[in-house]
Amino acid sequence: MIDRLKAPGDVVVASFVVLTLCCFAATAIGYNGMILRSEDGGETWFRQYAGTNAHLFGMSFVDANIGTLVGRWGTVVRTTDGGETWVRQSLGGSYNIGNVHFSDADHGAIV
């Protein structure tokens, strides 16, 4: 499910946002599972849902489609279709994860 945000009327307020740019797509993450995506250089944004309300702290995209988000309570979610769908990954803990980096689709580090 994707909700389109209409500019300039809709406002999303977040006290924590991480933004990444990759291949002309931009993704912003933050508190309460917030994921926003733009595919037109930030002109318009739409909300994506990863099935979590956990605060998201870090992300890594290797291209416009393949990305991993990490956050509170051991949250790790991954997409291979630009965020249309997200799949939860399990690390077996409930600790906070602050950052992630993938060098390609299959090799990365989570800290």
Report the pLDDT value the prediction gives residue 94, as an integer from 0 to 100. Answer: 81
Report the pLDDT value the prediction gives residue 107, as an integer from 0 to 100. Answer: 94
Report the pLDDT value the prediction gives residue 60, as an integer from 0 to 100. Answer: 92
Place of tokens 């790790």: 76
The token pair at 71 is 């956050």
Please say whether the beta carbons of 45 and 79 come within 8 A: no
Q: How far apart are CA 88 and CA 69, in angstroms?
A: 10
φ, ψ of residue 73 in degrees (nearest 5): 60, 30
pLDDT profile of the chain (111 residues), mean per 10: 44 53 76 88 86 92 91 94 91 86 92 87
Place of tokens 């906070």: 96
Please tell me what DSSP assigns to residue 6: P
Report the pLDDT value the prediction gives residue 22, as an integer from 0 to 100. Answer: 63
Pairing of strands 35-38, 25-30: antiparallel
